[in-house]
Amino acid sequence: MAFLDLEELTQDEKLLREEVHRFAEEVVRPASIELDRMPAKERVKPDSPFFKVMKQMKRLEYHKILIPHEKGGLQLTPRQAYIFWEELGWGSTGFATALGVDMIPFTVITYFGSKQAYEELVEPWLKRDDWIGCWGVTEPEHGSDYLIMLREEESLVEKMGRGNVVAEKDGNEWIITGHKSSWVSAAPVATHCGLHAQVKEGKTLAHGLFCVVPLNLKGVAKGEPEDMLGMRDCPQGWVSFDHVRIPEHYVVVAPGPFYGIFCDQLLCLTSVTVGAFSVGLARAAFEEALKYARERVQGGAPLIKHKNIKLKLYEMFEKVEVARAYVRKAMEYTYSRLYKGTFDASPRHARAAQIFAKKVAYEVAHDALQIFGAYGLHKEFIVQKLFRDARSLLIEDGTVEVLSLEAADDIIENYEKEYYNAESITRRFQEYVTEIEQKERR
């Protein structure tokens, strides 16, 4: 469904929207519906629609949208990137998530890693259509608290306990051991994992590192896809590491102050991105409801003639428009920081984009389902899938509650500052490393 965009897009941006929307409508959405109805195990078989769509996206070079031109990518402008994510999210938040997490290990190497890691891992990923990345954060004993470690008091972070995946240095290699929980998006289909692990001697999650682990290495095991309520088009499952050895240059972000800044900034990127495809989901739900309300006759008149429906439709429209305006702005700010390599995006603003858009997606999908009445509960209509996906978003990539608390810490500490204040993160993460270094020296 076409719509007026107040941003007055350029011709290139309009063409991009049309192209991605067509793909989302004709390829992504039908496949996502098919996957949603399939048993969990069927979804990861080689002939699954999941792989067909992922391969098509790779052939269209969608995985390259954040990679700079000089590194073999497309590097869309921040505004183009917003358009891209909203349209893909409109088609399926599951596929948008799968593509997002696919990018994480390789995009992180491109921006932060060594030339050697780029040549060994990123160059093949750019060319091949069968390498898929995932993002290993969530653990059996740690989920959204990975966010809390950034700004919460040290004593509380210590109470959260140690990480479930541990990294130990051994000569020129690191040994990875432990278990990531069943909720790792795309893990069952992934070939590589961008992994957060705690350093063996470290006291808390904060004393960690980010590395990329090829999942065909000895000692890696992956679980079957879980049978989830929503986002079923992006298989989730556990991944475990039994003394898996990786070369030193696969550790992209070493323990220390930059690990804290890296986690904070990566969360800014994922937040605005999840925000964008949440807006896409909200718009999809709104458009479904509008279309249905125009056609469906109840009580002798089309639904759109009923005042309560009109009111709901207006409120849904308002929410989608406001969410788009804010998330797009937040994404433009955040992505431009990534492109400039300044790593100084604003955590509170990026988190707000994700939190607000997720809530809007849930509220709009909820209202859309209500407008559909009993048909909304029927699997024939996509609106129940959108509702389940929107409900899942309130938990995935950080629960809205923990995201809000974490954003609140940044607001309380830094609201008046017109720049990214990394002072406390730098100090705290440096202390962890200094402690270990002193121990090593003794």
Partner 1 sequence: MSVVFPSKKWMDELLKKINSDEQYRKVAATWEGDYLLTVLLDEEALKDFQDPEKMAGLISMLKTLPPDKWAKFKGRPEEKLFEKLGLKLDEIVRDPSVLDRVDVNELAKKMASIRLEEIRGAALYLWMDFWHGEFRRFEVVAPGEKMEAKFKLTGNYSLYKQIVQGKVEVIPLVISGKLKLHGDLGYMLRNMAAVKRFSELLASIPVK
Residue ranges in contact with partner 1 by CB under 8 A: 112-115, 249, 251-258, 261-262, 340-344, 419-423, 426, 430
386 in Cβ contact with 365 (< 8 Å) = yes
Tell the smallest beta-carbon distance from residue 101 to partner 1 (Å): 21
Provide, rounded to whole angstroms, the least separation between the CB of residue 425 and partner 1. Answer: 8
CB atoms within 10 A of CB 219: 14
Q: Whose structure tokens read 């409109």? A: 90
Q: Closer CB to partner 1, residue 225 or residue 347?
A: 347
Cβ at position 348, least distance to partner 1 in Å = 15
CB of 228 closer than 8 Å to CB of 236: yes
319, 322, 289: which is closest to 306 by C-alpha? Answer: 289
* Comparison of 112 and 333: residue with beta carbon closer to partner 1: 112
Taking the alpha carbons of 201, 205, 206, 211 in that order, is the dihedral positive or negative? Answer: positive
Nearer to partner 1, 347 or 398 (CB): 347
- Helix H, strand E, coil C: the string for 20-56 is HHHHHHHHHHHHHHHHHHCCHHHHHCCCCHHHHHHHH
Nearest approach, Cβ of residue 254 and partner 1 (Å) = 3
Query: Please, which residue, 50 or 262, has the CB nearer to partner 1?
Result: 262
Torsion-angle region of residue 219: left (phi > 0), alpha (psi -120 to 50) or beta? left
Q: Give the residue from 10, 110, 94 showing the smallest Cα distance to 57.
A: 94
Shorter beta-carbon distance to partner 1: residue 54 or 209: 209
Instruction: Provide the minimum distance between the beta carbon of 175 and partner 1 in the complex, in angstroms, as a whole number.
Output: 17
CA atoms within 13 A on the CB side of 176: 32
In 133-256, alpha helices (H): 145-148, 154-159
Using the minimum distance from each CB to partner 1, give the nearer residue, 374 or 415: 415
In the bound complex, what is the minimum distance in angstroms from residue 244's beta carbon to partner 1?
A: 19
Q: How far is the CB of 403 from partner 1 (least distance, A)?
A: 22
Length of the chain: 442
